[in-house]
Structure 1
Amino acid sequence: MEGIGKSLILIGIFIVIVGLLIMFFEKLPFGLGKLPGDIYIKRDNFVFYFPLATSILISIFLSLIFIILSKISR
């Protein structure tokens, strides 16, 4: 149970840090959300936006975080 507690504390600290970064920066750093692989279609009365590259980048980043957390909690 001690490992789960440590993991939850680390995840909580990470969420607080991300929340503070979002609060203090109007736009996310490094153009996140406007990457070359993001799909953006704008027509007369229609706008479609799908952040494909951004989603993949966030997925890789979160996977690395969870791998690190699993190694720490052992």
Structure 2
Amino acid sequence: MSDLPKMMMVMGALLLIVGFFLQFIGKLPGDIVFKKGNTTFYFPIVTSIVISVILSLIFLVIGRFK
């Protein structure tokens, strides 16, 4: 149980770093955007993959503490 605060601080730091970069990047290269008339369709496929990899790494780290 003593590792929980350290693990939460690491996860918070990772989320802060990812949020900081996503704020300035906006959308990653590879995200799909269709614009036609007044309609815009945005499908963030690369962003979804990056978030999935980051979450997988976080859960891997959490799993090692159990």
**Structure 1 ranges of 4+ moved more than 4 A:** none
Report how many residues are paired.
66
**Are 1:59 and 2:57 counterparts?**
no
Residue 6 of structure 2 aligns with which residue?
6
Q: Is the 8 A contact 2:11 2:58 kept in 1?
A: no
RMSD: 2.6
* Unaligned stretches of 5+ residues in structure 2: none
The residue type paired with residue 40 of structure 1 is V
* Unaligned stretches of 5+ residues in structure 1: none
Give the percent of matched residue pairs that are identical in Structure 1 and Structure 2.
36
Q: CA deviation at 1:26?
A: 5.9
Residue 42 of structure 1 aligns with which residue?
35
Q: TM-score, normalised by structure 1?
A: 0.61
Structure with the bigger percentage of strand: 2
Q: TM-score, normalised by structure 2?
A: 0.66
**Are 1:68 and 2:61 counterparts?**
yes
Structure showing greater relative contact order (alpha-carbon pairs closer than 8 Å, 6 or more residues apart): 1
Q: Deviations over 1:7-59 (max 9, x none)?
A: 1121122233344x34xx8622xxx72433x2211001111101012201221
